[in-house]
Amino acid sequence: MCGRFAITLPPEAMARLFEAVPGNDVPGGERFNVCPTQTIAVCTAGKGGRRLRGMRWGFLPHWYKTPTDGPLLINARSETVADKPAFRAACRERRCLVPSDGFYEWTREEGKQPLPWFIRRADGEPMVFGGIWQDWEREGESLTTCAIVTCEAGPGMSSIHNREPLVLEREDWGKWLGEEGKGAALLMKPAAEGVLTWHRVGTKVNSNRAEGAGLIEPI
């Protein structure tokens, strides 16, 4: 799964990365511990071209009466995203790209403190997750929300966790966004061997209130 990640690119750089028009609601500043329910930068596509927008990380199905009316849906499994009632319309019509520097995952042994790892691209390029999004509105409250798609972990990553976020290559961004016809389902697979690398980081990141560049430093 993906429950915490880092993003240090300023909004202008993210807009250039995706060749998108940036909105005023895109959060700025270096963020080394992005958590669920926070606003994150998301790239969408439409008739007017690509847009970089701010969205709540935590997908809200249209039947939720309040943002806390059900489980917090930060991830959508690739195996069921096209069929699950909460996600299927968004999977067909509202896919998005989520930029990051990398994400955190934890190994757990019974009776011991969880040990965090930071996973990033081996080539040093920004990591881009495939996601889905939708607008939610109820009784005057409106939110634009998203979830990150996850898939079964590849051979290397599986030693840390059995799931990983869907990491998309630059040449596949247009297809995922629906700009280049159908075929997005073929992209829902683990990152190719050698794309990802990882290192152990300090346990300070176990707290969702922790911040700072030291969180991603190797130990």
Query: Looking at the 3D structure of the chain, how many domains does it have?
Result: 1
- Look at residues 122, 127, 124 and name the one whose alpha carbon lies nearest to residue 14: 127
Residue 52 lies in a domain: yes
pLDDT in tens, 156-166: 899 999 999 99
Residue 39 lies in a domain: yes
Residue 213 lies in a domain: no
- Look at residues 40, 42, 52 and name the one whose alpha carbon lies nearest to residue 5: 40
Residue 13 DSSP SS3: helix
**Domain extent at residue 179:** 5-104+124-193
List alpha helices for the chain, DSSP H: 11-18, 88-93, 173-176
Residue 204 lies in a domain: no
Residue 187 lies in a domain: yes
Average pLDDT, the chain: 96
pLDDT in tens, 86-131: 999 999 999 999 999 999 999 988 888 899 999 999 999 999 999 9
Query: For residue 93, is it left (φ>0), alpha (ψ between -120 and 50) or beta?
Result: alpha
Instruction: Find the CATH number of the domain harbouring 18.
Output: 3.90.1680.10
Distance CA 123, CA 166 (A): 17
Residue 182 lies in a domain: yes
Residue 36 lies in a domain: yes
Residue 76 lies in a domain: yes
